[in-house]
Structures are given as structure tokens and as C-alpha cells.
Chain A
Amino acid sequence: MRDPLNSKVRAIKPSGIRKFFDIVKEIDGAISLGVGEPDFDTPWHIREEGIYALERGKTFYTSNAGLLELREEIAKYLERRQGLSYDFKNEILVTIGGSEAIDAALRAMLDAGDEVLIPEPCYVSYVPCVTLADGVPVTIDLKEENSFKLTREELLGAITDKTKILIMPFPNNPTGGIMTREDLEAIADVIIEKDLFVISDEIYSELTYGRDHVSIASLPGMKERTIVINGFSKSYAMTGWRLGYACGPEAILKQMTKIHQFAIMCAPTTSQCAAIEALRNGDEDVLRMREAYDERRRYLVTRLNEMGFHTFEPEGAFYVFPSIKHTGMTSDEFATALLKEEKVAVVPGTAFGDCGEGFLRISYAYSIENLKTALDRIERFMKNHEYSAS
């Protein structure tokens, strides 16, 4: 028989997340701090709107780009929250989560051999999606001493003649790092001068602590070269609804819509109806959840530092990324030992790029009670191994 597989697909490494998940599954009664989704239920008024949509028989396809009413609400929301202005008829595409938007944007923009800059540690799908779109992923190792921000020097150092796109994953999963307006301004002129495009994954835009998120598209000259990706999963606790969106220049969105049309047809209608309600009446839910995450964030960082971890203070998303370098163990060794000895599952930093070595990702999408139990066990683990402060 001939080889049924595509060589490009086969060459993609299985994700570190998957590998670790398989280990965790085997441990009975493990407590996990390893999830990348909110612990909150979708607010009831939003779910109720989904139910109502089904009752009314909203069971048909929508237009390819998504319900016009939803796109209009998305445009209003982006204007209200981030001062971005998009023409909802031509510059917004509703997708199956942010993930599909990332994939479609890369496929719409890349020719074979084009290089895509990907700051790491980051979400696991950028590198494979670039590869699948025939692009060449070029990773940039972000440094803890720079608060895991992308600096002008790092960007300049990675650009070649073939560089076409820069992926901007902020607020960042797994580090919790953010880019402030000043941080963005420091790189924007490089992007313009080198004629690059940006795919800005802003899925955690509502989860920043202490200051509001700034979209790179809101900087002068950036909107015409940026695809903003966002969605409902994190801000409204709607992961299972699979709903996100992309906004950007009409010429790019038109091609993305073409890909979406042939691969997907349209995002789920029930989810789209519920999302309209989320944008219209969900501001308070977002605030309530953000405050809960913020309390947990402070609790987690304080306790981890007390235990002798050196913990970068995250300003966004719902993860902390403590260093374990002082233990002398690798991320994999530490996470595996912690799981075996104390039955607590955290994700090794290496799952998010090689430069995640020496770090762990701990999620705080858990109640304080759960965090407390897990942290007590981590504390015992540190004591048993006599790891002192770094």
C-alpha cells in the first residue's frame, strides 16, 4: 500500500500537553492545575439565550461570515473596550473559536517559505499551523528578566528578508505577560518599516489585572497590517461554544472568509445567538470573573513565593509561570515527580516552547479552595525535597 499520510502532518510533533495529559490520566485521584479554560459556567443569561435560540428554531446556517447582528455587536464591543473601529459588514469574520481564526489568517496570508515570527513560550498551535500553511516558523525566546515581553531588539534580531508575519500572543498563555502601550510602541515602527503583518491573538484581552489591555491595532499605522483575533471562550467562559472572531483589513478578511466558507461554512448558530447576548449584557459577568481571577492570582503568587519559588508576577490571562531552576530539576522531571508524589498536575513549561525549560505553568482557573489544597501539597513537596528559596 502507498503511504496514506501527508509528510508535513506526520512530521509535526505531538504537543507536550498531550503527552503530559496521558501521564496524568493514569494517576488516580490527581488534582489538576493544568487546565487552560475558565472554571466558571457560562453566565446563565447567555445560556438561556442559547436555549431560546433553539426554541425559536434557529437551527439553520448563518451567512459565512456570521450573523450580521453579532458582527455589529462585536464592532461595538471593540470600539467600546479598545477604541478599535471595524466595518462589521466587511472587516469581521466569526469563527470556530480563536483557533480557527489563527489558522485561517495564516493560510490566507502565507506563501511557501514565508517566515512567521513566534514569541515563545506561547500557546501550542501557532507553530504547527504555520507549518501546515507552508510557512516557516521562527521562534523568539522571550526572557523572564524582560517580564516575558517582546523587545525591539529581539524583534529586530529575528527579522530576515523572508519574514512576513509576526504573531503577538498577549496577554500570554502560559506566562501571564502583557504588552503595555509603551511596549507596543517600541516595536510598532519596526513592524511598519520592515513591512510586516501582525496576527494579534488577544483572546485573553479581558483578563488583565491593574490596567486595561491595549490592542496593537489601535496604534497609528497598525490597523491596516494587523489581524486581531479574539473570542468568547475566556472572557465569557464559553469555551465549549466554540466561538471566536477575526478583524482586519477587508482584503485579507475576504480571503479568510473564503477559506472559512469552504472548510467550515459558518460558526454554530446557537453559539452565535448566545454571543449576541454576551456582548449586549455581559459586561458585569466579565468584571465579576476578572475580580475572582485577580484574587486567586494574588493568592497563588504570594504562596508560591513563600515556598521559595521565584515567580514572575503575571498581569494577564489566568496562569502563573514560576521558575523551578533552583531545584536543579528539569520542568518535565519536576512535574512528573510532583504528580507521582503529591498527585498534583501542573504543565511543564517546555510544552510551550523549548525556552519554557525551568518553568511550570500553573493555572488559576480553579476555586480558592481547590488552589489551597493543591498548594498545600506543593508546599509539602518542596519541604520534603528541602528546596529553599532561590
Chain B
Amino acid sequence: MREKILHAIAKNSKISAKDLAMMLGSTEEEIKKEIQAMEDEHIICGYPTLINWDFDEKERVTAIIEVKVTPQRGRGFDKIAERIYRFDEVSAVYLVSGGFDLAIIVEGRSMREIAGFVSDKLAPLEAVLSTSTNFILKKYKENGMPLVGEVRDDERELITP
């Protein structure tokens, strides 16, 4: 049941417990109890909204920064990862395999702001060996949802056998 609830609210977190109960063949109380339990256990970590921020002329900048770091004895990459993810500007941090160690996503109001974050805060960290900043030019898809393209109407005939 938990997995079914999660799959359903991953697509639409606004869905009511009553509707979920009908869809999954459960009761409203049972669904509410499970969701509460999963929030307590930090399985459900939040309910953010997917927004296409390109709706106006205001500049907003996102960058993917590749970071090479020195892991710390006993703590591996966790310590340095934490020092980085605690910055409010950082929206995501991933430890990755390949040519660098941490992939981080930083959001800011301008390129200058992000450049400032990298030069003043990120690069000076002792464990950081190098950074490579990739500014995002256009977002096509996020969280499994396409952000571009027009909204399509139902193109089917109204009544078919």
C-alpha cells in the first residue's frame, strides 16, 4: 500500500486522502495514517511544486557545478558534502562516479551571484580541489515532467465505440 500511495502522490501531491482511498481500494483513515507515518519516518520529505520559472522576464539562473574534492579520513565524502549542502543557494548535491566527485545544483538571481558563490564560498573550502560551473540555458524536463511544449487538448473523438 505504501508504494502505491507514494507512486500516486509522486505524480500529484495535491490528491486528497479520500480520492486516494477510492483509487487504491482502501479507507481514508488508513491512507491518512500511512501518509503521516511516512512523513514521520522521513520517507516523504516534503511537497514542493514543480514550477516553470520562465514565465516572466525576471532573470533566474541555475548551474550544475562539478566539484573535485579530497575525501576526509573516516568520513569519506560526507563531511564535505554536508558543508556544501548547508548553503541555501545549493538546491541539490550528488556524489557521482566519473571524472569528478560531487555534482551540485546551485540557484541564483544572476550569473554574477552564482560566480560569487563559487569564488567566495565553494572554491575556498579546504577540501575542494577544483570546480567547473555549467550554466543551464534552458530547462526541458524536470521531475519527469516536460516544461516546454504547449498543453495538449484531448485530441480524441468525443464518442467512439
A binds B: yes
Residues of A whose CB lies within 8 Å of any CB of B are: 15, 17, 20-21, 24-25, 30, 32, 34-37, 39, 123-125, 173, 295-296, 298-299, 302-303, 345, 347, 351, 368, 372
Q: Which residues of A contact B8 (CB under 8 A)?
A: 295
**Contact yes or no, A35 B23, CB < 8 A:** no
Nearest A residue (CB) for B7: A291
B19 is an interface residue with CB less than 8 A from chain A:
yes
Task: Select which of A34, A299, A372 is within 8 A of B160 by beta carbon.
Answer: A34
Residue contact B159 to A298, C-beta cutoff 8 Å = no
B151 on the A face (CB < 8 A): no
Residue from B8, B15, B23 whose CB has the most chain A CB atoms within 10 Å: B23
Q: Which residues from chain B sit less than 8 Å from chain A, CB to CB?
A: 8, 12, 15, 19, 22-25, 154, 156-161
Pick the residue among A30, A125, A303 that contacts B161 (CB under 8 A).
Answer: A125
- Which B residue sits closest to A15, measured CB to CB? B161
Q: Give A36 to B25 CA distance when docked, in angstroms.
A: 25
Q: How far is the CB of A77 from chain B (nearest CB, A)?
A: 25
Chain A residues lying within 8 Å of B23, measured Cβ to Cβ, are 295-296, 298-299, 368
Q: Are B161 and A123 in contact (CB under 8 A)?
A: yes
Closest 5 CB pairs of A and B: A295-B23, A34-B159, A21-B159, A32-B158, A302-B22
User: Contact at A298–B24, with CB atoms within 8 Å?
Assistant: yes
Greatest chain A CB density within 10 A among B15, B23, B158, B159 is at B159
Interface CB pairs A-B, < 8 A, 7: A20-B159, A32-B154, A34-B158, A35-B159, A124-B161, A295-B8, A298-B25
Which A residues are CB-close (under 8 A) to B15?
368
Give Cα distance in the complex from A17 to B161, angstroms.
Answer: 6
B29 to chain A, nearest CB (A): 15
Besides A30-B158, A368-B12, 12 other A-B contacts (C-beta < 8 A): A21-B158, A24-B158, A25-B158, A32-B159, A34-B160, A125-B161, A298-B24, A298-B25, A299-B23, A303-B22, A347-B159, A372-B19
* B residues in contact with A124, CB < 8 Å: 161
A12 CA / B8 CA spacing, docked (Å): 46
Q: Which residues of B contact A299 (CB under 8 A)?
A: 19, 22-23
On whether the beta carbons of A39 and B159 are closer than 8 Å, the reply is no
Residues on A with C-beta less than 8 A from B24 are 295, 298
- A39 and B158 contacting across the interface, CB-CB below 8 Å: no
CB distance from B100 to the nearest CB of A (A): 31
Residues of B within 8 A of A296 (CB): 23
- Known A295-B8, A368-B15; judge A37-B160 contact (CB<8 A): yes
Q: Are A35 and B158 in contact (CB under 8 A)?
A: yes
